């Protein structure tokens, strides 16, 4: 069975390429505020597991719709021959510079593509569009109109009335903000206009929905791995003697932080690749919680659990058990603390504000000593990592491929994330975190609690 193909056509600069990018999940489609950005028809396949589900063809906008229509009318041989006359138009003008754009946009349609006609519903309707719509009607191909809203105006109703004269299905569709559900609706409704497409498009929609679940699980797996790795990370630095000095501590602390930061960056990249957003930049002053360092105080205040939540969760008990010496690294920012005066090797546990990492001096069998820093035992550390990862993954999963700005945080995300988790889940997660912190390792059951919880939190 042939793959359903749609040509996205319309006036220049109305969001055609944006719709292609959205429906093909391809952020490489050229989009710009300047009319005439797309100059050639180009197919973008939507692939899943090596199979092409459907194909979108981006096209240049109409330039000479009225003249095109005039030519068609001059060659009219009755309704039954109109599709053939359009084909003749393309053949007769393929070398005619004046009709380059018309030939580019009509060629895929005469070759069998369905039509998605895009208009901007924020601008008033005008009769100049009628020639375009009439030319499209002449092709006789299945067609649907999409009302995109590029700016603030609202002329949707007048557009709807006019479009209904030419198209059996008219939908509003926000090229830049349409979410996954809206895209699936669009696919299914396009299946309804053409019988031969209803089965493959129905299957495509089902496959995309199943894939959505798979992606969510894969993203949860990445976040789970990030937590496991970051909570079990420890670094070593060489020591001159059996006592740790300030410089060695600072050196080890820096290494540990850098390792966690790098791990977080890698995890974000993997999550973005799962959602086909590999090239997405995360840098926007509007997104401080996402951009600032995982170790910054701001991350802790936004994503960490409150003292009450920590107590309710049971996180506080048993967290510093073990024979190693926990050194308080002080201050509001984990491991950044000034005044780390703790002499490693001294007896006792300095709990301080709960900003902790395990620190110990190891004797080497071949002589010499090294300082081992980690794992990070700070009670809030896993919650901060998790909160940041969830927010990032949700924004990436929602993000439409027509957007060209960097990833920005929605103001609503200001709500304290940990509040949404619920105490039962929080406790289950904290049990897993505790085992990670205590270096006993996590087993398969812990792994599934972790992943299942993260999947739910991503919904
Ligand atoms: N805010 C907003 N901007 C949009 C929307 N759709 C398109 N745009 C913007 O409108 C401009 C044109 O979008 P394109 O997708 O390049 O339009 P096009 O129809 O392919 O343009 P040509 O290829 O030049 O004919 C870009 O700056 C888009 O970012 C929308 O739904 N909302
Ligand atoms: Mg374009």
Residue 388: per-residue pLDDT = 84
Cis? peptide before 210, omega within 30° of 0? no
Neighbours of 146 (CB within 10 A): 26
pLDDT tens profile 392-402: 898 899 888 98
Ligand 1 center–CA 126 separation, angstroms? 19
Side-chain-facing half-sphere of 253: CA atoms under 13 Å: 22
- Pocket-forming residues, ligand 1, beta carbon under 6 Å: 12-18, 31-33, 35-38, 60-61, 148-150, 174-176
Q: Which residue has a Cα nearest atom 11 of ligand 1?
A: 33
Q: Which ligand is nearest to the Cα of residue 13, counting in written order?
A: 1
Q: Which ligand is nearest to the Cα of residue 151, counting in written order?
A: 1
* pTM reported for the whole predicted model: 0.83
* CA-118 nearest atom, ligand 1: 19
Ligand 1 center–CA 34 separation, angstroms? 9
CB 345 within 8 A of CB 379: no
Residue of 100, 150, 173, 401 to test ligand 1 pocket, by largest number of atoms within 8 Å of CB: 150
Residue of 7, 14, 18 to test ligand 1 pocket, by largest number of atoms within 8 Å of CB: 18
Ligand 1 center–CA 198 separation, angstroms? 29
Express as a percent the part of the chain with pLDDT over 70. Answer: 76
Residue 200: per-residue pLDDT = 92
- In a 3-state reduction of DSSP, which class is residue 194? coil
Ligand 2 center–CA 368 separation, angstroms? 66
pLDDT tens profile 147-191: 999 999 999 999 999 999 999 899 999 988 888 999 999 999 888
Ligand 2 center–CA 370 separation, angstroms? 60
Q: Of 2-6, 11-15, 176-180, 347-351, where does mean pLDDT reach its minimum?
A: 347-351
Residue 256: per-residue pLDDT = 86
Residue 398: per-residue pLDDT = 87
Average pLDDT score over the chain: 81
Q: Say which residue, 347 or 209, is predicted with more confidence.
A: 209
Ligand 2 center–CA 452 separation, angstroms? 41
Q: Residue 143 burial by CB count (10 A; 0-12/13-18/19+): exposed, middle or buried? A: buried
Q: Which residue has a Cα nearest atom 23 of ligand 1?
A: 38
pLDDT tens profile 194-216: 888 899 999 999 999 999 999 99
CB 293 within 8 A of CB 385: no
Two structure tokens written together for 421 = 């988790």
Task: Examine the pLDDT at 319 and tell me if it is beyond 50.
Answer: no
**What is the residue whose two structure tokens read 């546990």?**
349
Task: Examine the pLDDT at 218 and tell me if it is beyond 90.
Answer: yes
Q: How far apart are CA 160 and CA 146, in angstroms?
A: 9
Side-chain-facing half-sphere of 117: CA atoms under 13 Å: 29
Q: Which residue has a Cα nearest atom 22 of ligand 1?
A: 13
């Amino acid at each position: 069975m042939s793959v359903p193909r749609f040509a996205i056509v319309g006036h220049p600069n109305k969001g055609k390429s944006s719709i292609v990018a959205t429906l093909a999940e391809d952020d490489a489609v050229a989009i710009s505020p300047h009319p005439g950005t797309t100059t050639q028809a180009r197919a973008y396949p939507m692939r899943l597991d090596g199979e092409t589900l459907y194909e979108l063809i981006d096209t240049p906008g109409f330039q000479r719709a009225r003249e095109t229509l005039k030519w068609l009318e001059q060659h009219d041989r009755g309704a039954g021959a109109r599709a053939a006359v359009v084909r003749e138009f393309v053949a007769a003008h393929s070398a005619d510079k004046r009709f380059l754009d018309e030939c580019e946009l009509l060629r895929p349609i005469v070759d069998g593509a369905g039509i998605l006609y895009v208009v901007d519903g924020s601008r008033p309707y005008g009769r100049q569009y009628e020639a375009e719509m009439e030319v499209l009607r002449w092709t006789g191909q299945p067609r649907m109109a999409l009302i995109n809203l590029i700016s603030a105006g609202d002329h949707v109703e007048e557009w709807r009335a006019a479009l209904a004269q030419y198209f059996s299905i008219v939908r509003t569709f926000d090229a830049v903000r349409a979410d996954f559900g809206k895209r699936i609706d669009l696919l299914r409704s396009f299946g309804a206009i053409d019988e031969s497409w209803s089965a493959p498009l129905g299957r495509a929609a089902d496959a995309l929905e199943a894939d959505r679940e798979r992606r969510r699980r894969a993203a949860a797996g990445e976040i789970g791995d990030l937590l496991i790795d970051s909570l079990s990370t420890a670094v070593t630095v060489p020591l001159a003697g059996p006592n740790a000095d300030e410089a060695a501590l600072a050196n080890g602390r820096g290494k540990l932080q850098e390792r966690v930061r790098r791990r977080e960056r890698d995890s974000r990249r993997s999550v973005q690749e799962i959602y086909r957003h590999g090239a997405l930049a995360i840098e926007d002053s509007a997104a401080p919680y996402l951009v600032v360092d995982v170790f910054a105080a701001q991350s802790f205040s936004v994503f960490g659990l409150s003292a009450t939540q920590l107590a309710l969760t049971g996180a506080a008990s048993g967290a510093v058990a073990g024979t190693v010496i926990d050194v308080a690294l002080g201050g509001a920012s984990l491991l950044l603390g000034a005044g780390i005066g703790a002499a490693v090797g001294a007896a006792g546990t300095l709990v301080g504000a709960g900003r902790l990492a395990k620190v110990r001096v190891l004797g080497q069998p071949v002589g010499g000593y090294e300082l081992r820093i980690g794992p990070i035992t700070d009670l809030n550390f896993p919650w901060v990592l998790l909160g940041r990862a969830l927010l990032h993954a949700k924004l990436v999963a929602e993000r439409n491929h027509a957007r060209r700005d960097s990833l920005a945080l929605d103001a609503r995300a200001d709500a304290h994330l940990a509040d949404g988790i619920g105490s039962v889940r929080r406790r289950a997660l904290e049990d897993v975190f505790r085992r990670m912190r205590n270096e006993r390792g996590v087993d398969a059951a812990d792994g599934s609690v972790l992943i299942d919880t993260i999947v739910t939190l991503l919904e």
